[in-house]
Structures are given as C-alpha cells and as structure tokens.
Chain A
C-alpha cells in the first residue's frame, strides 16, 4: 500500500506498479494534467513538484522531477502540484508574480517553474519576508527548469517579486485535511525482510528502513534493482521502457543518509544527496561544495546521492574524480560482510566496480585537508548549469616549503572510468610549486589519457583543456600572488 498526501488529501492505493513514476500516476490515474511531461528524463523540469516530508521542524519541502521519481518516493509524504497551491482568483505568490511579470508564453514549462519558485518561496521563508532573494539563489532554484519562450528574464523578475504578495504558507495546504498527520517515526522496523510495499503481477517494491532489512532483502533478491536517488536508473524506465521485477528503495534507510564529522575525517553516508552535501561540505571542502552546485539541477541534487554517483561507475560522474583526488575510502557492506576499499581500486572497467551481487556501498570517508593541502576542481561542459562534463578535473596537492610533496590528479570524461593521471602526478611531485612545473607536467597528460570524441567534445579538446586546467589550477591557487587573475 502506498499512501500519500496530494494537495492536502490523503490517498491510498495498493495497485501501483513499482515501476510507476509519479508523473505517470498523477497524469493517468489521478487525471491531474497540471504536471507536464517535457522530456521524461529529468532534464527539463516541466514535471517539477514539491515533495514534503514531516520532520521535527514541521513539513519540509524540496523539488523533484516527477518524471523519473517512483511513486515509492511519495509514500507517507506530501505532494504539492500547481493546482494544489493556488486556484483561479487566488493564486500562490509564485503564480501571481509570474502572471504579473509576463513570465509565461506557451505555458507548457510554467507549472514546473511555479513549483520551483514556490519551493524557493517556502524554503527561504519569503512568506515571513525573512530576506530578499539573491540572483544566485534564484538561478540555483531554477537550474533544472528549461523555458524555450521567455528567455527567463521575466521569470527572474517574478522570483524577486514573490515576497510582495500576501503571505502563503504551504504547510497549511498539505495539512488542510486536518486528520491523519503522519508520524515521522513511523512503524517500528521489523526484523529480517520487510514485506513488500507493493506486489503487483510479480513485481515488487521494497522500502527497507534499516541496513539489516536491506541485507535480508539482498539475500532474498540478489538481482534486485537498488534504487537510491534514481536519477540515472529512472531513465531505464522512462527512456528504454524497461520494467524491473524487484526494486529496493534505499532512501528511507536513515543510517545511509547522514554525515559524521570524525576526528580527521568526514564520513559521508552513501545515501547523502547532493543537496545535503552542498551544505555539509561547504566549510571543509569549499571547492567541492562549489562543484556540487553544478551537478545536475536543484531537482536532481535533491534526489541524487553521492553513493549512487560512485557506484553507478559512469566515466562521466562528477564526484568520483574528486573522491579519487581526495584518496577516499569506501565502505562496502552486504551479505559477505563489511569491507573497506580505496576508491583507487574500486573501478574495474567501463561501468564495472568491485561491488558483488548482494553488496551495497555504505559510506565514503575523506580526510580533512591540512593547511598545506588543497583541492582544485574544474568542470568543463557546453552549458554552465545542468550539463554532463566533457572533462571533470580534480587536483589534490600538498605543497610544503614551496615543493609539491603529494599530487593526485583524477579526471572524468577522458577514459572508460574516472581515472588518476599518474605520469602527470609524478611530474609534479618533488618539483617546485611554480608555473613552469605545471606547464611541464601538462606534457604528460597525453600519456595518462586517451579520450574519445563524442557529443560533448572532441578528444583533442579534452586533452588540450585538461592540460590547460593544470595551469589554470596553479593560477587559481596563486591568485593574488602573481598578479594574474586565473
């Protein structure tokens, strides 16, 4: 049984196929066309919705792409759609501002923009006029919403004007039925395999709450599809029309979704979302947090997880090069017991990792940086926001007394896996920290990487820009010292 609150009304349904996306369910079963399909791949944002979760602070919302998120995601949660947050003659401030600023033309993307703006309004307390929004906040909130008509200018204007309208707190909409307020502690987790949340025609959906339950399920269903954020695997359903028999959703296992500050290390649960990590890494790894702003879109970052990005083993994932440069340790758990591996050893080949059936990635550990250490990250793509990297460049350096003591350079997009550039690293280590060292080391990039040409870039550009990024990294690290802006 999936049970969720749609625009203030509780709905229970035990006939939902585990593969059913939120978008499909709303548009077909609920006959609710205020949620649009633009790309069915999490790239355009026309299907953006607000998903609310009861916490000790009340209902907290985030946006998601309904097209690639499963109905499992809404279980015991609150969903808001454009027709739920306003009605004719009584629009939500995000809606009224869009009307007043001429923020819609063809109108097809508009419901998605409405929800991204309404979520921004809600999250930043605009109803209490807490603070004026910055352009950066607005762009981040809209990073996953494509509009082909307006050129965005009136939509940005609308975002700035939302606070001018009578206040609207959406938690009141979600809870307006007044009954059946969900208890966030939920039922006590059972021991062993939990029952399937849905079981339709031999297709099953499980939502374990603990790692113990997950291990039990992995014993019973070693070939199950492990669904964390689903931002990549969701495309199997919506683009390749695949149907999974067994889906195990990982995103209710609280031990996977937390971060811990250890003495010299940061422990990141594999289920930590990019959005969470943007906050958690901001102080210790500011360059990493900056990079996270450019991974996917706000909607994707709200769902996608660090563990998913690593275990997915895509050569163009953005965080693996950073974790390689940071020499991260991975904790793997499952039915063969817990083990730890260096991320250097994790990738075996194209889309292949050390993970065995019945195993899952539990956590990532990275060492905090000392004052002599630095992490420089560069993402190169055709478009600034919400694009896949042509090259993802990650350089860790330890420089003491003007000499490079340690160097780890890892890139994505240049080989079949995220890969260290060991010859280049060797050319850096032991050398003076100078422009010349970096220019010389750049000559080795071609020995470390033999990239391919594809839709994102040519092999020649990939090599050239990787070489240049070495120099650019040096210039950035020395900005203000040489008089050169990088």
Chain B
C-alpha cells in the first residue's frame, strides 16, 4: 500500500487493545464535533450551484370553498419572478397522497384548509419569491368549514371508515359490574417544531431526471412521488438525505410536497431550485400530531379492577387521510397501555376537518391512546379512594393474557420495573410528605404520579418491516456503510456503525456512514415507528455476516485452516487455533489479500421482522414484534391562585433492552420526556373560528426551554436483554419514552385533586396550561362545596 491516511491509527497499536466503539459503548454521536463547529451540513448549508432559484407557495385565505378565479398576473410580474405554477402545470400525477389519494399538490378547484397551497412562485431570491406570493388575486365561493372533531362526528365526516377491536363482551361486563363510570378527555395535538424546517434542493439531471436533496424521513417515498409527479420512471430520480435537523415524524410524509414542487420547477427551468419553508409557512402548511377526543364507559369492582371498558377514540385528521388510518389504529392499540381491560370494545373514528392534514408524530397516535388509559386509571382511583399507583398495579396485565386485538402478553416484566422505580423514587415516602405539604400550605399544592409505558414495536403495516444495507470494505480496511435509515439526530448512523464495528471487531473510526440515498439502498421504509436501529442494524449485520463468511471461506482455503480458526479480534484477523502460534494479520492486510485473491468485498444486507401479522378484518393478530417498557415518577407544585406550576422532580426507569449505546439511548429518553411534557403542558395549538392557525410561530407556540426541565431529573436504563432476537437483544427507543411526559400531567391532576381531598377527578384537558390548571382547581373547589 502506498499511502495510509494519517487519520488511520497504526494497526500495531490497534492490536494491543479491544476495538473501540463497539455495540454497548457510550460513543458520542458521529457528527457531534461537526454539530458544535457548525460544519455539519444541512441542505440549506450546501453551497448553492450557480443559477439556483428559490421557490415559495401562495396560500389560501379561507378554510373551505371553491376557487372561482385565480389571477396570478401580478405574481408573474413581480420583481425577480422567473416562473409560476399551478396544479395544471404538473406534468404527471397531481395527487401525492402517501397511502390514500386526497393530497393534491396544489388545491384542486376546492380549498380544503386555511393556508392550503394554491400555486408556487420561482424567483431569483427567497425574499422575492415570498413577496410575490402575496400578490395573487383569488376569489372564492366560501363554504362552511368543519373545524372541530365534534363538528365532524356530528356530520359523519370522516377521511376513512371507523375501525373497531373487541375482546369478550364489554357491554355485559360493564352492566354486571358493581360500579359503572364514564368520562372523557380532549387531548390536543402538537407541532413538531423540528429546528430545521422543511427543505428540498432539486438539481436537474440527465435524461429528464432529478437529483433531489430533501430533509425527509422517507426518501424512497419522496423519490416515488417526484417520479410520479414528473411522469418519470422511478429510476430517473435520486433522493439523498445526509441528515435532518430534527424530524419527529413531521418529515415522514410532509417533506414530499416541497420536494415535488422544487423538482417540477427544476425540470421546467432546467436550473437548480431550492424550496425552503420559513417557520410560519412550515407551521401553517404541514400537518401535526392529531388532537383526540376520547370517551369511556367502564365497569369496575370495589377495588378498582377493570371488568369491562367501552372506549371511543376520535382523531382530528384534517382534510385528507395521510397516515391517519394507521395513527388512529395505533391509538386504539395503546388505549390499554399496560392494563388488562378484560372485556373491551374499542372504536376509532377518523374525523375529517377543514384543517391541515395531520400526520405522524413520535408515538404515532400511541400517546393519545395511552394518556387516556392513564386518565381512566386515575379516575378509577379517585372513585374507589385508593392511591392511583395501587390501582394501576392491580390492573396490570399478566403473562399469558391477551390484548383487545388478540396479541398474547409475553415477557411482561413491567410490574418488576415499576416496583423498582417505586423503591428508587421513594414513591411512598414522598406521597406522605406531599400530603403533609398540602395540609400545611393554603395556596401551593403538590402532586405525584408514577405511570408506566408499554409500547408496541413494529410498523402496523406489515410490509414496512423490512430494511436493506450496503457495506463495502476497501483495501485499507476502511468500511463504507450505507442503509435505508435516515439520521435525524437520534444517533442511528452511530448505532448502525457500531453494529458493523462490532461484527468485525474493528475500531469505529474505520466505519464511514454515507448519506441515505435511494440509488444505494432501494425501496426503503421510512425511518419511523422507532424502527431505525432494529431494522437497519439487523440489515447491516446481515451484510457483515455475508462478508465475514466470504472472508472466512477465503481464509480457510488460503491458510488451510478450519472456519473456527478464523477470528476477528482487535482490528485483526487471527488465523489458527492456538492463541500463541496464531497468526495476527491486520484487517487491512487481510482484506487486501482477499481482494488480490478476487474475493468480493461488497454486499447488500437485508432484514424482515419475523413473527408479526395482523388481520384488520378480524382486528386480531400480533401486530407487534415486542413491547418496550418504562415508568416515570413525576412530582409537581401548582399555584392554586394562578394555575402556574413547576415540575420538581422526575425519575425515569426505561427498558431499552441491551442498549446498543447507553449514552444515545439516555439522550433519547431525556429528550422524549421533555417533548412529551411539552405536549401536555405549554405547547398549545389553536385555530380561530375561521380555521386560521393562531399558534403559527415560535412566539405563539411554546416548546419547553431549559428552565422547564425538572429540578431533579434522573434517568436510568432497566438493563435486560430483549427476549426477542433483535439486534444484540436491544430494544427500540425513539418513541416509547415520549409517553413518560404523561406522568407530569397525572401529577398536575393529582395536585389539583388535592384541593378536593382527592374525592374528585378533575377535568384537565391537554395541554394543561396554567389556565386549564386554574380552571380545574376552581372546578374542584366548586364541586366540593356543592
């Protein structure tokens, strides 16, 4: 070898110690140094090619109605404007609905929500494009707009038919139960507020094709949609994603529209086109977490044990289906959380409203189902006068049971985890201290809650549970890794690189992951459903195993040894059975030798999740490969005069299986908790009576800041191997810990309930802003007087 990169540590030094950065080590994020220097490149940071133009969309100013005329003369004549397009200018498919149709790229004669894209402008600068969009003259025939779930339910307006799941006979069980009770909860949605807004950069390519850089969790879908919109075969479009500045589900389907518009312009003008949504456009034009309006009827016994449950969930889908079918399904799958409902009927509605089409968001409906389970359990506890934690424990599933969709309950060690957290957090001692505090203080009240998480892992759409990887070994021993997963900050590239390092027992710095690209690994699934490491880790492992078996086979022949005498240790390949006489060959020298002996050093890898199946017609099966568990104990203090509050402490114990990277997993858990807490406390979406989004900026939509973090915040991993054969028996960690935020909401409710001596379960819709907390306090005071 002529030159060895100065970045490569000498192989002799690598031999003397274990390989660095293998699975299980607390490795920093692969881009950490670039993040802090600001040199990690996001799409807007790429040097712009000469001739780059900038696109912006013109938006509707009504929520619902026919477009009578659309006069774009002034737009076309505005300074800097190069091109203007409407739906008529789309050469191919005009509807970019991801699963079901219904998402025209621009409003198709009818406006379906306030702010819907009507046309797009291309100009010499971003500002010129933005200014031009305001010059359109549009006349409408306005129609009544459906703006709430209740409106939609009343008018039977749905984007998809209702679905129901059943176990036993809920109605009879409720009727026969000693105690019947009912309740409801309105759970508002959530803006993703990824720090990097939606962006695409389209370059015209040969043969009419497109090279698109897109901040998307689902490059394959963007590729397919761009091809359809341009009426091209899919192989003419390449989509590349190096990293996103956050996704959280908001870039699963919602990135495609901007990529398609940029591509149409790029083709029409044969020039590079950048389409970036500024923050306000991003908030108005892209879907959010669904609001849910949930109702229950329960039959319970005197100890608070659930005997039967009739539950109705209704999701706020917006104007089109998008992913709402699967999202409402997941809410239904999780409305039991960790509890055996015994007899249950669960029905889920997909409500159509004249608002932006709501979409995937971390947890994908699961949180909206799970918070309702926790609300029910708290209501039960108040009803029977017990500590909510005792009622929760009494209702836990047991191994051998089954869910309301027929999935057997297996390896259910959550009670053990909860027991441990109860001890570690001193739940009982603090409960007593809080009672004392609340007796001693007239205006400040404290609340405590310990809530569990049981979250199903797998896409509930079975075919999405597959992944591919591509691994090349070069002759200096460095490895190029590519897979279908996208990096949005969750550390996927780091974890999958650790898998490769682990397989070859190589230092992590020998592995270089490259941007997710549709021409490297095709037909990929979105990086969603917490599946990134599970799927892509296994696919990469598969590729490594294929390469290893080729290398071992080569070594067997070349050195005339048994397969078991070829081992990968400390960045070296060790040939020979006997430790002392074995030959140590650096990985670089070994792969060079293999190459010279004409062994292919490149392969793809593939993985498909086993065991899963779900029959939607009978609403039964095993939609989830396994469940991730966790529990959170949160303590809050409220001011009963203003409704203001502070989260004093949060203790979290979370099950990530045998963690691939404890530092990254803990980062996911901490971040998810705060995001979940934000969803239920300060983050409030609001539309006015015209259907205009009022919370349309960082000034009006408030995600948590550093001071909102609990004063005491402890996160621990519950270190236990996944019983299922996942990558090194780890568990998915992206979404499950989001639901730890529910403990904060339950604790707030607990604090409020204290003013009525816990005899009333206070109504507390979410987010629990100071206003809602104060209202709940006043409700309790009035009711306890009455």
- Interface flag for B419 (CB, 8 Å): no
Contact between A383 and B246, CB atoms less than 8 A apart: no
Q: Report B-chain residues with C-beta under 8 Å of the C-beta of A57.
A: none
Interface residues of B in 431-466 (CB under 8 A from A): 441-444
Instruction: Judge whether B36 and A110 touch: CB under 8 Å.
Output: yes
B316 to nearest A CB, angstroms?
18
State whether B642 touches A472 (Cβ < 8 A).
yes
Most B CB atoms within 10 A — which of A100, A387, A468, A485? A468
CB-CB contacts below 8 Å: B634-684 with A = 639, 641-644, 663-664, 666-667, 670-675, 682, 684
| Inter-subunit contact A139/B707 (CB<8 Å) | yes
Contact assessment for A46 and B195 in the assembled complex, using a CB-CB cutoff below 8 Å:
yes
Across the interface, do A108 and B245 meet the contact criterion of CB distance under 8 Å?
yes
Instruction: Using CB atoms, name the residue of chain B closest to A237.
Output: B127
B694 close to A455 (CB less than 8 A) = yes
In the bound assembly, the distance between CA atoms of A145 and B444 in angstroms comes to 30
Interface string of B698-714 (1 = CB under 8 A from A): 11101111111100010
A139 in contact with B706 given A150-B670, A150-B671, A455-B694 (CB within 8 Å): yes
Q: A95-B37, A484-B443 are in contact. Are A106 and B246 (CB under 8 A)?
A: yes
Task: Report A-chain residues with C-beta under 8 Å of the C-beta of B675.
Answer: 148, 151
CA distance A94 to B38 in the complex (A): 13
Cβ-defined partner of A106 (8 Å) among B131, B244, B771: B244
Q: Mark A248-281, 1 if CB is under 8 A from B, else 0.
A: 0000000000000000000000000000000000
Q: Does A336 contact B (CB under 8 A)?
A: no
Q: Which segment of A80-88, A394-402, A417-425 sits at the interface?
A: A80-88
Chain B, interface size: which category?
35 or more
A102 to B38, CA, bound (A): 16
Closest A residue to B775 by beta carbon equals: A461
Residues of A contacting B25 with CB < 8 Å? none
Q: How far is the CB of B436 from chain A (nearest CB, A)?
A: 14
Chain B residues with CB under 8 Å of A87's CB are 37
Contact (Cβ within 8 A) B444 A106 = no
Residues of B contacting A146 with CB < 8 Å? Answer: 193, 195, 698, 703, 705
Q: Are A148 and B195 in contact (CB under 8 A)?
A: yes
Nearest chain B CB to A152's CB is how many angstroms away?
A: 4
At the interface, yes or no: B522 with Cβ under 8 Å from chain A?
A: no
A155: B residues at CB distance < 8 A: 706
Q: Would you give the shortest CB distance from A11 to chain B, in whole angstroms?
A: 18
B724 within 8 A of A: no
Flag A364-396 by CB within 8 Å of B: 1 or 0 each.
Answer: 000000000000001011111111101000000
Cβ-based interface call for A132 (8 A)? no
Which of A37-45, A174-182, A192-200, A304-312 binds B?
Answer: A37-45
What chain B residues lie within 8 Å of A475 (beta carbons)?
443
Q: How far is the CA of A127 from the CA of B543 in the complex (A)?
A: 48
B192 contacts across to A, CB distance below 8 A: 148
Q: Which of the 9-residue segments A27-35, A219-227, A317-325, A348-356 touches chain B? A: A27-35
Within 8 A of A (CB), among B267-298: 278-280
A99 to B694, CA, bound (A): 37
**Which residue of chain A has its CB nearest to the CB of B444?**
A485
* Docked complex Cα distance between A451 and B228 (Å): 52
A222 to B376, CA, bound (A): 64
* Complex CA–CA separation, A96 to B245 (angstroms): 20
- A37/B44 in contact, CB under 8 A: yes
**Measured between C-beta atoms, what is the minimum distance from B514 to chain A in Å?**
17
A27–B47 CA distance with the chains assembled, in angstroms: 10
**Residue interface bits A24-66, CB-to-B below 8 A is 1, else 0:** 0001000101111111110110100000000000000000000
Kindly identify which residue among A86, A99, A105 contacts B489, using a CB–CB cutoff of 8 Å. Answer: A105
C-alpha gap A111/B34 in the complex (Å): 10
How many chain A residues touch B (CB < 8 A): the figure is: 82
Q: How far is the CB of B133 from chain A (nearest CB, A)?
A: 10
Whether A33 pairs with B489 at a CB distance below 8 angstroms is no
Answer yes or no: B770 CB below 8 A from chain A CBs. Answer: yes
- A291 CB contacts on chain B under 8 angstroms: none
Q: Which of A33, A380, A484 contacts B38 (CB 8 A)?
A: A33
Q: Are B698 and A44 in contact (CB under 8 A)?
A: yes
A167, CB-defined interface residue at 8 Å: no
List, in ascending order, chain B residues with CB within 8 A of A148's CB: 192-195, 246, 248, 671, 675, 703
Q: List A residues 212-262 near B (Cβ within 8 Å).
A: 239, 241
The 0/1 profile, CB within 8 Å of A marked 1, for residues 163-192 of chain B is 000000000000000000000000000001
Q: Does B554 contact A (CB under 8 A)?
A: no
Tell me whether A142 and B706 are in contact in the complex, defined as CB-CB below 8 angstroms, given that A43-B698, A105-B491, A111-B38 are known contacts: yes
Contacts of A149 in B (CB 8 A): 246, 489, 667, 671
User: Given A83-B38, A143-B705, is A150 in contact with B246 using a C-beta cutoff of 8 Å?
Assistant: no
Closest to A455 in B: B694
A110 / chain B contacts, CB cutoff of 8 Å: 35-36, 38
Q: Does A154 contact B (CB under 8 A)?
A: yes
**Alpha-carbon distance between A102 and B35 when the two chains are bound, in angstroms:** 11
CB 8 Å contact bits of B16-49 with A (1 = contact, 0 = none) = 0000000000101101111111111110110100
Enumerate chain A residues within 8 angstroms of B697, measured Cβ to Cβ: 39, 41, 43, 239
Known: A105-B491, A485-B443. A383 touches B195 (CB 8 A): no
How many Å from the CB of B629 to the closest CB on chain A?
20
Residues of chain A within 8 A of B771, CB atoms compared: 390, 457-458, 461, 465
Per DSSP, chain A at the interface is loop
Q: Is the CB of B774 within 8 A of A83?
A: no
Does B60 lie at the interface of the complex (its beta carbon under 8 Å from any beta carbon of A)? no
If the complex has contacts A95-B36, A99-B33, A386-B705, are A105 and B44 also in contact, measured as CB distance less than 8 A?
no
Q: Which residues of B contact A33 (CB under 8 A)?
A: 38, 41-42, 44-45
Q: Is the CB of A239 within 8 A of B280?
A: yes
A373 to chain B, nearest CB (A): 24
Q: Which A residues are in CB contact (< 8 Å) with B715?
A: 153
Partner of B127, one of A139, A241, A455: A241
Q: Which residue on A lies nearest to B645, using beta carbons?
A: A384
Contacts of A139 in B (CB 8 A): 705-707
**Is A471's beta carbon under 8 Å from chain B?**
yes
B770 touches A100 (CB 8 A): no
Residue in A34, A37, A107 whose CB lies within 8 Å of B31: A107
Minimum Cβ distance to chain A for residue B49 (Å): 13
B556 contacts partner chain A, Cβ-Cβ < 8 Å: no
Q: Which of B196, B713, B775 contacts A153 (CB 8 A)?
A: B713
Asked if A109 is at the interface of the complex by the 8 Å CB criterion, the answer is yes
Binary interface encoding of chain B residues 479-498 relative to chain A, with 1 for a CB under 8 A from any of its CBs, else 0? 00000000011110000000
Would you call B769 an interface residue if the criterion is a C-beta within 8 Å of the partner chain's C-beta atoms? yes
Complex contact B704–A383 (CB within 8 A): yes
Contact of B195 among A38, A41, A98, A469 (CB under 8 A): A38
Residues of A within 8 A of B31 (CB): 104, 107
Complex Cα distance, B672 from A105, in Å, reads 12
Which residues of chain B are within 8 angstroms of A13 by Cβ–Cβ distance?
Answer: none
Contacts of B699 in A (CB 8 A): 41, 43, 388
Pairs A-B, 10 closest by C-beta atoms: A34-B38, A106-B489, A108-B245, A107-B35, A43-B698, A151-B674, A33-B45, A105-B489, A95-B36, A104-B35
The chain A residues found within 8 Å of chain B, CB to CB, are: 27, 31, 33-41, 43-44, 46, 81-83, 86-88, 91, 94-96, 98-100, 102, 104-111, 114, 138-139, 142-143, 145-156, 239, 241, 378, 380-388, 390, 454-458, 461, 464-465, 468-469, 471-472, 475, 484-486
Known: A102-B664, A107-B243. 12 other contacts (CB 8 A): A33-B42, A95-B33, A96-B36, A110-B35, A111-B36, A148-B246, A149-B667, A151-B672, A241-B131, A384-B707, A384-B708, A385-B706
Q: Can you list 16 A-B contacts (CB < 8 A)?
A: A35-B38, A100-B28, A102-B664, A102-B666, A108-B246, A114-B38, A139-B707, A143-B707, A149-B489, A153-B709, A155-B706, A378-B642, A382-B682, A384-B705, A455-B684, A469-B641
Chain B positions within 8 Å of A, measured between CB atoms, are 26, 28-29, 31-42, 44-45, 47, 127, 130-131, 192-197, 243-248, 278-280, 441-444, 488-491, 639, 641-644, 663-664, 666-667, 670-675, 682, 684, 686, 694-695, 697-700, 702-709, 713, 715, 769-771, 774-775, 778
